[in-house]
Amino acid sequence: MRLSPVLRAGALVATLALAVTACGGKSQQAAGGSDSLVDRAKADNKLTVGIKFDQPGLGLKTGDGYTGFDVDVAKYIAKKLGVDEKNIVFKQAPSAQREDLIAQGDVDLVIATYTINDKRKQKVSFAGPYFVAGQDLLVKTENTDITGPETLNGKKLCSVTGSTSAQNIQTKFANKVALQQYGGYSECVTGLLNGAIDALSTDDIILQGYANADANKGKLKVVGKPFSNEPYGIGLKKGDTKTQQALDGYIQEMEKDGSWSAALKKNFGDSYKVPAEPPITEK
Ligand code: GLU
């Protein structure tokens, strides 16, 4: 096949582009050479976000669809980054895998009830916080003896590997409770419902999501005595300051234009008492 000089030049560019993509692998560069996500996302019109798949109200996969507050935050951020909603790829990000998923480039962002702390900051950077939760307890509705963290002596607790929730239980109640750790909170809910454990402990908003779920209606209650501070951040590649700053701005916009409270309302109704002041002001 004979190509005109213009077509030949085009074919060469296309081949080079393919070669660059192939070599770029997980650390692709946007046109112009920046490897910051803000530049890359817009150029590629693609964003890969790690979320939870089993936390109703926050990150839930049902069939091919994704719902929850974290999903709504992801959609808002994607739009600001210039990425079409249909081009967001959601990947499951279990608590224990979040840092690695980001560090290895398997996801661009993690928006998954992800507490900002110094230990995690050694491996990833965070934008936010975009929400502040507190660790609490979920028990069966008929339970009367677990009324707060001071009533946990001898109880069987459940939480998730790699979470601050499990860590806090171990440091605060080490010798008092038997802690069972699973890969996801929905497994703890199963254990709670069938009587294998006495309480599930993690962030109050996560627990409220389980209590609200249709399948659990009337069966579970949140104790309502939070005993930690869990500022949720958006995890991103360590050192991508340009993206971190951009995302901080987008979170602020989401809070100011009403989308933040609308998303919480949509996913939790009146079941969760949202603080009057959005958290970004804490920075
Ligand atoms: N926010 C806590 C954490 O990041 C608990 C919730 C979770 O495991 O996602 O570890």
Higher local confidence (pLDDT), 213 or 9: 213
pLDDT at residue 11 tops 80: no
Class of domain 37-133+232-268: alpha beta
Question: Which residue in this structure is represented by tokens 């900002």?
Answer: 116
pLDDT of residue 22: 40
| 162 C-alpha to ligand 1 centroid (Å) | 8
CA-nearest residue, atom 1 of ligand 1: 115
pLDDT of residue 35: 85
| Nearest atom of ligand 1 to the alpha carbon of 114 | 4
Give 8's pLDDT tier (boundaries 50, 70, 90).
Answer: very low
pLDDT of residue 273: 80
| Nearest atom of ligand 1 to the alpha carbon of 133 | 1
Higher local confidence (pLDDT), 17 or 178: 178
Q: Do 117 and 164 contact (CB within 8 A), yes or no?
A: yes
The answer to whether domain 37-133+232-268 and domain 135-222 are alike in fold is yes
For 143-159, write each residue's pLDDT tens digit: 999 999 999 999 999 99
| Nearest atom of ligand 1 to the alpha carbon of 165 | 5
pTM across the whole model: 0.88
| 31 C-alpha to ligand 1 centroid (Å) | 36
CA-nearest residue, atom 10 of ligand 1: 163
pLDDT at residue 13 tops 50: no
Query: Ligand 1 pocket check: which of 124, 163, 186, 201 to mutate, most ligand atoms within 8 Å of Cβ?
Result: 163
Instruction: List ligand 1's pocket residues with C-beta within 6 A.
Output: 95, 112-115, 160, 163-165, 202-203, 206, 230
- The 3-class secondary structure across 82-145, one letter per residue, is CCCHHHEEEEECCHHHHHHHHHCCCCCEECCCCECCHHHHCCEEEEEEEEEECEEEEEECCCCC
Domain ranges of the chain: 37-133+232-268, 135-222
What number does CATH give the domain 135-222? 3.40.190.10
For 172-203, write each residue's pLDDT tens digit: 998 899 999 999 999 999 999 999 999 999 99
pLDDT at residue 19 tops 50: no
pLDDT of residue 220: 98
